[in-house]
Amino acid sequence: MNLGEKLFELRKTKNLTQDEVAEKLNVTRQTVSKWETNQSTPDFDKILPLCELYEISTEELLKGEKQEKLEENNYNNEEKKNKNNYENMTKNQIKQKSAEVVCSSILIFIVAVAYAGIGTAVMMWNPIVVGCTFLIMIGWGVTRIVKHYMSIPKFEKTQEEKKQDKIVKQINDIIGGIGIAIYFIVSFITMAWHITWVIFIIIGMIEEIVKLIFMLEGDEKNEE
């Protein structure tokens, strides 16, 4: 909002006509009209009378537009900060954040495994470079998940949520046990111990997917 628009809005708020404003400020109606249409700006000696008439500060009159932008920016920054501040999130918001972090991290794991496989077996890239890049990507995905779950504040869980956590733990224990068995069987058969450890990453992805599925099912039940 520019100065002219500001003066127009202030006058309308006070239910004054241009003639009334002109009379109070000892100027012509045409002068007031030019102020409000941005054809001219008030003289310095008219600024204070205008502020007194409209009951605002000179800073609000002259810097109103900048102030509004500053307040808007502060609001946006605060909103952004709140989105990243787990303490200000509701339980459902944290669940949504968990879904985003887990899904994106799983995608990172999949890309890392695909990169390692294609890089060494198909593209014949330097195995040391491929291995280092692979570990960096895996570390990035794991760090995101660990940081997320360590940042979540503790909520009082409902009986349904406790029951759900128990089921998820039992399922993941079974998946972990089967995964370890598969790891040793595949490793002894192929003797490719330097590759088969990737199975543990796959186990971790499956366990996170199980958690995500149960979490989303819980949200659906709550909405019902």
Averaged pLDDT, groups of 10, the chain, 224 residues long: 84 90 91 90 88 85 56 54 63 81 89 87 86 91 88 77 87 92 92 83 86 73 53
Note the pLDDT of residue 30.
92
According to the 3-state scheme, what is the secondary structure of 43-103?
A: CHHHHHHHHHHHCCCHHHHHCHHHHHHHHHHHHHHHHHHHHHCHHHCCHHHHHHHHHHHHH
Note the pLDDT of residue 177.
93
Note the pLDDT of residue 204.
85
Note the pLDDT of residue 136.
93
Q: What is the token pair recorded at 210?
A: 């199980």
What is the CATH code of the structural domain delimited by 3-79?
Answer: 1.10.260.40
Note the pLDDT of residue 222.
54
The residue type of 208 is: E
Q: Where are the domains of the chain?
A: 3-79, 91-223
Note the pLDDT of residue 67.
47
Q: Considering the entire predicted model, what is its pTM?
A: 0.51
Note the pLDDT of residue 77.
56
Matching residue, tokens 């409902």: 158
